[in-house]
Amino acid sequence: MSFTHLGLSEPLLKAIKAQGYDTPTPIQEKAIPVVIEGRDVLAAAQTGTGKTAGFTLPLLERLSQKQPHMHAKQIRALVLTPTRELAAQVAQSIENYGKYTPYRSTVIFGGVGINPQLSAIRKGIDIVIATPGRLLDIAGQKGIDFSKLECLILDEADRMLDMGFIHDIKKLMKLMPPKKQTLLFSATFSPEIKTLASSLLHNPVLVEVARENETANQISQVVHYVDKARKRELLSQLIKTKGWKQVLVFTRTKHGANKLTQQLEEYGITAAAIHGNKSQGARTKALASFKANEIRVLVATDIAARGIDIDQLPHVVNYELPNVPEDYVHRIGRTGRAGQSGEAISLVCVDEHKLLFDIEKFIKAEIPKVEIEAFRPDPNIKAEPIENGRGQNRGGKPNKARNNAPHAQSHNNRKPATNKNKS
Ligand code: AMP
């Protein structure tokens, strides 16, 4: 299957070629034709599946089918995302895929000045990519007009609900015309997502990529048991001995991210932290230096890392396991993207055994445990309660549903044999 059979016109095919893509990913193959047809879509897709192009390309195609007369402030399409990073990334995709089309897009999120955003919309914009909070502020100032909206896309809708954006979304919805095309992308299908989908979508086409997807299978996962106090030493050793050049490391808290960054620097490993307390400028700069291989390690919290897209990111380290099993899947999805192979390493201390158990139950697979002789945990150290970093990132309410993770769609059904190798 090639892109030419999906109903995309020449300017888009040319842009796809410029991106270097030969074949559509499964989600693209399924979503692109139905979106072009004008249908509402409910898509189960994780990051790394190529979902962004899966909605961006047909959106651009749809826009080219009509040339309406628009007033300033009126927009034709809106993409809502949970985080600034994801918004910026989707905007970049639209720019890349739309570079041979005349459509103008702009990205809107909080944490930066509102005036340039207001004036961008006033100048006339076709597509807005936004986080819900700031967009609502702009709508409240009558800075944007949704009356001619043709297409609404909710990306990572599950995450938006987790972050407490449901009320903002509902308020925005009231400002939009009922007749429009709506696409909803979500990695998981909690009852809350189903309720949202049934209130927003009309007779949607359900697009699902095989659960046992290519991407997840490309990621090799491993657990190293280690005492908490020795994690940073083990991490530095792994980075140095294995010669990792680009590694994304997850911590549970912002404070933990800062501390680890500093410690890695002390070990002579270049690192930067990215989390919700950092200014947008600092986050963008850290990400750019990481992508340019100027720093070896990017230390991130879950929410900040959401939406980070780095081609061929080879290593992801869970310096601390996430409290929510789904976050494990999101974290390791940062590597092994679009068919590349990747490695996800978890450093697990005695306090985290229950978290590991929950993760394995959620992914329906046992993660191979590899013992590193010099870091074998001290059996006399007893488990202590875990410092909880959740809820500190955003004003959003923690969602009850996340604690019932196993009801959510499982991401793969693999059952690799347990592997208690020594190394
Ligand atoms: P996404 O799931 O949208 O975050 O995309 C994951 C990654 O896959 C991004 O780095 C895209 O640039 C890349 N990608 C998307 N579609 C394709 C394709 N058809 N062929 C190769 N890479 C792709």
Ligand 1 neighbourhood includes 39 CB (under 6 angstroms): no
pLDDT of residue 282: 81
Distance from the CA of 88 to the center of ligand 1, in angstroms? 15
Q: What angle do CA 330, 335, 341 make, to 5 degrees?
A: 135
Closest CA to 194 of 241, 166, 158, 246: 158
Is domain 219-421 given the CATH code 3.40.50.300 in the classification?
yes
Q: What is the CA radius of gyration of the chain?
A: 22
Q: What's the gap in Å between 52 CA and the centre of ligand 1?
A: 7
Residue 98 to residue 53: CA distance in whole angstroms: 11
Q: Where are the domains of the chain?
A: 3-208, 219-421
Ligand 1 pocket member 10 (CB < 6 A): no
- Take atom 21 of ligand 1 and give the residue whose Cα is closest: 21
Which residue pairs, CB below 8 angstroms and at least 24 apart, start in 2-8? 6/32, 6/33, 6/36, 6/57, 7/32, 7/33, 7/36, 7/58, 7/61, 8/32, 8/36, 8/57, 8/58, 8/61
Using DSSP, state whether 291 is helix, strand or coil: helix
Ligand 1 centre distance from Cα of residue 36 (Å): 19
Taking the model in full, what pTM does it have? 0.59
pLDDT, tens only, 273-331: 988 777 778 888 888 888 888 999 999 988 777 656 666 678 899 999 998 888 888 88
pLDDT string in tens for the chain (423-residue length): 789 999 999 999 999 999 999 899 989 999 999 999 999 999 988 777 889 999 999 999 999 988 877 788 999 999 999 999 899 999 999 999 999 999 999 999 998 999 999 999 999 999 999 999 999 999 999 999 999 999 999 999 988 988 889 999 999 999 999 999 999 999 877 788 889 999 999 999 998 775 433 334 567 899 999 999 999 999 999 999 888 888 999 999 889 999 999 999 999 999 999 887 777 788 888 888 888 889 999 999 887 776 566 666 788 999 999 988 888 888 887 776 655 668 899 999 999 999 999 999 888 888 999 999 999 999 898 888 876 544 333 333 333 333 333 333 333 333 343 333 333
Instruction: Answer whether 338 contacts ligand 1 (Cβ < 6 A).
Output: yes
Measured distance CA(108)–CA(120) in Å, rounded: 10
Give, in order, the Cα–Cα distances in Å from 244 to each of 96, 156, 239.
29, 30, 5
Q: With contact defined as beta carbons under 8 Å apart, do 359 and 321 qualify?
A: yes
Distance of CA 96 to the CA centre of its chain: 19
Mutate to test the pocket of ligand 1, among 2, 4, 6, 21 (most ligand atoms within 8 A of CB): 21
Residue owning the nearest CA to atom 17 of ligand 1: 50
pLDDT of residue 388: 59
pLDDT of residue 325: 87
Nearest CA to ligand 1 atom 16: 50
What is the C-alpha separation between 166 and 172, in angstroms, rounded? 10
Mutual orientation of helices 51-64 and 84-97 as an angle, nearest 10°? 50
**Nearest of 225, 224, 226, 221 to residue 415 by alpha carbon:** 221
Q: What is the pLDDT at residue 397?
A: 38
Classify residue 23 by burial, with Cβ atoms within 10 Å: 0-12, 13-18, 19+. exposed
Is residue 24 in contact with ligand 1, taking CB distance under 6 Å? yes
Q: Residues, the chain, total?
A: 423
Overall CATH class of domain 3-208: alpha beta
Q: Count H helices and E strands in the chain, helices first.
A: 16, 13
- 51 Cβ inside 6 Å of ligand 1: yes
- Looking from the CA of residue 89, the nearest atom of ligand 1 is 4
Whether the Cβ atoms of residue 242 and residue 235 lie closer than 8 Å to each other: no
Q: Do domains 3-208 and 219-421 have the same CATH topology?
A: yes
The two three-digit tokens of residue 346, written as one number: 């978890």
Atom of ligand 1 nearest to the CA of 338: 8
